[in-house]
C-alpha cells in the first residue's frame, strides 16, 4: 500500500484506467455492427463497460435506464453487455426473446452476498417485512421481493412503500444507509456491499481534493458513508451524466467504476474528469464488468450464446416486483401495494 498518492496529470490518470484498445478495433466493431443489424439484435451496455463496447452499443446507461430499454425494445435478440443480473432482468421482462451476454461469469459481489435461501430464512423471522431489493441480486432473490429498486430510484421506491410495513432492504448496506438518511425511514439492512465501491476511503478523497481544490466530487451511493459525506453529489451513474453536464465546474472528481469516465468524457467533451483514487490504486475496475470484451461480444453474436435461461416460475414471480419498480419510476404508481 502507498502512503502518498503520486500527482498524475488527470489526462494520464484517466487514460491509465482504460484498457488499451485492440489493434483491430475498427474491423471488429464493424463486424459486430453488421452482425447486429442482420440479426435484428439490440446491444445494451452499462456505463462501466470498456469504451469500445460502449461505442458499438445502441444504448449505454445505468441499471434503471437499461431495464427501461429492455422493457420497451422490439428487437428479436437482446445482447446485454453488463453483468449477469442485468441480463437476467432483461430476460424476465422479455421471456419470449433470446437474451445473450458476452461472458456468463460476469457476476457481482452484491448478488453473491445474498443467496435466496438465506434471504428467505430472514424474511421468515418477521411476517411484517416488506422486502425492497436492489436490482443487483439474482432472479431468485427478485422472486422473493416485494419491489425492486436501482440506485437511480431507490429513494423514490422507499418513499412509495406501505408505511405500516417494516422495510427489509437487500443486499447493499451502503445504498440502504444512504436511502435511510434521505427518507428518514428506518430499515433493516442486509450486510452486503460492492467490493469496488468500498475501496474508496475518506482519506484518499481528502488527498485528491487537495490536488484539485475547485473540483466537485460525485460519488456512487454504494460508497461508504465516510466517502459520501465528502461528495458534492451522490447519485446513480446516469444521474452523474446530468450532474456533470449542468455543473459549471471544468474539472470533476468521479468516485465510481472508471468505465464511467468514457461516457462522461463523451457527453461533456470540454470537461476534465479525474478518476478518484482508492488507497491501493489510481482506479478501481470492476473485475466482473471488465470480463466483457469486444472479442467476446462478437463471439456471442456469432454463437448466440451464452444465453440467459430461467424457469417460467422464477420469471413470473420476479416480474411482479420489477414491474412495480418501473411503474413507480414512471409515475404511474405512487403507492406500492
Question: Grid cell 420497451 — which residue?
Answer: 72
Nearer to ligand 13P, 168 or 194 (CB): 194
CA gap 188, 182 in Å, rounded: 15
In SS3 terms, the chain reads as CCCCCCCCCHHHHHHHHCCCCCCCHHHHHHHHHHHHHHHCEEEEEECCCCHHHHHHCCEEECHHHHHHHHHHCCCCEEEEECCHHHHHHHHHHCCCCEEECCCCCCCCHHHHCCCHHHHHHHHCCCCCEEEEEECCCCHHHHHCCCEEECCCCHHHHHHCCCCCCEEEEECEHHHHHHHHHHHCCCEEECCECCCCHHHCCHHHHHHHHHHCCCCCEEECCCCCHHHHCCCCEECCHHHHHHHHHHCCCCEEEEECCCHHHHHHHHHCCCCEEEECCCCCCCCCCCCCHHHCCHHHHHHHHHHCCCECCCCHHHHHHHHHHHHHHHHHHHCCCCCCC
Which of the listed partners (ligand SF4, ligand 13P, none) does 288 bind, with a CB threshold of 5 to 8 Å by partner kind?
Answer: ligand SF4
Strand 129-134, strand 147-149: pairing: parallel
Q: Min. distance of Cβ 138 from ligand SF4 in angstroms? A: 12
User: Does residue 140 touch ligand SF4 according to CB under 6 A?
Assistant: no
Of positions 18, 77, 87, 196, contacts ligand SF4 by CB under 6 A: 196
170 contacts ligand 13P (rule: CB under 6 A):
no
Task: Report the residue number, 150 or 292, with the smaller CB distance to ligand 13P.
Answer: 150
**Nearer to ligand 13P by C-beta: 49 or 237?**
237
Q: What are phi and psi of 46, to 5 degrees?
A: -80, 155
Residue with the closest Cβ to ligand 13P? 62
Q: From residue 142, give the alpha-carbon distance in Å to each of 88, 145, 171, 221, 315.
A: 10, 5, 11, 21, 9
Does the footprint of ligand SF4 cover residue 275 (CB under 6 A)? no
Q: Is 194 in the site for ligand 13P (CB under 6 A)?
A: yes
Q: Which is nearer to ligand 13P, 113 or 237 (CB)?
A: 237
Q: Which does 237 bind (CB under 5 to 8 A by kind): ligand 13P, ligand SF4, none?
A: ligand 13P
Choice from 10, 102, 152, 306 touching ligand 13P (CB under 6 A): 152
67 binds ligand 13P (CB under 6 A): no
Kindly write out the interface string for residues 265-304 of this chain, putting x where it contacts ligand 13P by CB under 6 A and - elsewhere: ----------------------------------------
Q: Least Å distance between CB 286 and ligand 13P?
A: 7
Residue 256 CB, nearest approach to ligand 13P (Å): 7
User: Is 286 a residue that touches ligand SF4 (CB under 6 A)?
Assistant: yes
| Binding flag, residue 150, ligand 13P (CB under 6 A) | yes
Count of residues near ligand SF4 by CB under 6 A: 13
Q: 131 touches which of ligand 13P, ligand SF4, none (CB within 5 to 8 A by kind)?
A: none
**Can you tell me which of 258, 274, 288, 292 binds ligand SF4, judged by CB under 6 A?**
288
Task: Please state the closest distance from residue 192 (CB atom) to ligand SF4, in A.
Answer: 9
- The C-alpha atoms of residue 334 and residue 132 are separated, in whole angstroms, by 16
By CB under 6 A, name the binding residues for ligand 13P: 62-63, 136, 150-152, 194, 220, 222, 236-237
By CB under 6 A, name the binding residues for ligand SF4: 83, 108-110, 136, 194-196, 222, 257, 286, 288-289
Amino acid at each position: 500500500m502507498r502512503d502518498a498518492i503520486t500527482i498524475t496529470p488527470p489526462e494520464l490518470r484517466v487514460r491509465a484506467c482504460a484498457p488499451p484498445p485492440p489493434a483491430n478495433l475498427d474491423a471488429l466493431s464493424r463486424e459486430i455492427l453488421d452482425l447486429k443489424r442482420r440479426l435484428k439484435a439490440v446491444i445494451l451496455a452499462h456505463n462501466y463497460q470498456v469504451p469500445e463496447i460502449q461505442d458499438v452499443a445502441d444504448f449505454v446507461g445505468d441499471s434503471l435506464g437499461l431495464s427501461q430499454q429492455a422493457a420497451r425494445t422490439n428487437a428479436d435478440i437482446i445482447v446485454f453487455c453488463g453483468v449477469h443480473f442485468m441480463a437476467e432482468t432483461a430476460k424476465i421482462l422479455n421471456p419470449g426473446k433470446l437474451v445473450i451476454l458476452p461472458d456468463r461469469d460476469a457476476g457481482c459481489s452484491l448478488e453473491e452476498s445474498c443467496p435466496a435461501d438465506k434471504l428467505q430464512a430472514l424474511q421468515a423471522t418477521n411476517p411484517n417485512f416488506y422486502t425492497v431489493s436492489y436490482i443487483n441480486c439474482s432472479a431468485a432473490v427478485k422472486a422473493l421481493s416485494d419491489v425492486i429498486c436501482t440506485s437511480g430510484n431507490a429513494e423514490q421506491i422507499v418513499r412509495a412503500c406501505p408505511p405500516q410495513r417494516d422495510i427489509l432492504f437487500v443486499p447493499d448496506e451502503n445504498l440502504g444507509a444512504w436511502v435511510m438518511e434521505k427518507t428518514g425511514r428506518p430499515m433493516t439492512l442486509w450486510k452486503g456491499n460492492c467490493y469496488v465501491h468500498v475501496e474508496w476511503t475518506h482519506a484518499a478523497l481528502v488527498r485528491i481534493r487537495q490536488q484539485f481544490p475547485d473540483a466537485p466530487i460525485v460519488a456512487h451511493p454504494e460508497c461508504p458513508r465516510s466517502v459520501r459525506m465528502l461528495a458534492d453529489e451522490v447519485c446513480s451513474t446516469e444521474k452523474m451524466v446530468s450532474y456533470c453536464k449542468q455543473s459549471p465546474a471544468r474539472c470533476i472528481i468521479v468516485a465510481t467504476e472508471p468505465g464511467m469516465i468514457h461516457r462522461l468524457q463523451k457527453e461533456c467533451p470540454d470537461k476534465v474528469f479525474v478518476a478518484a483514487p482508492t488507497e491501493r490504486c489510481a482506479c478501481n475496475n470492476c473485475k466482473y464488468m471488465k470480463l466483457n470484451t469486444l472479442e467476446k461480444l462478437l463471439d456471442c453474436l456469432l454463437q448466440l450464446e451464452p444465453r440467459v435461461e430461467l424457469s417460467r416460475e422464477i420469471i413470473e414471480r420476479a416480474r411482479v416486483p420489477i414491474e412495480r419498480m418501473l411503474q413507480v419510476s414512471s409515475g404511474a404508481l405512487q403507492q406500492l401495494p
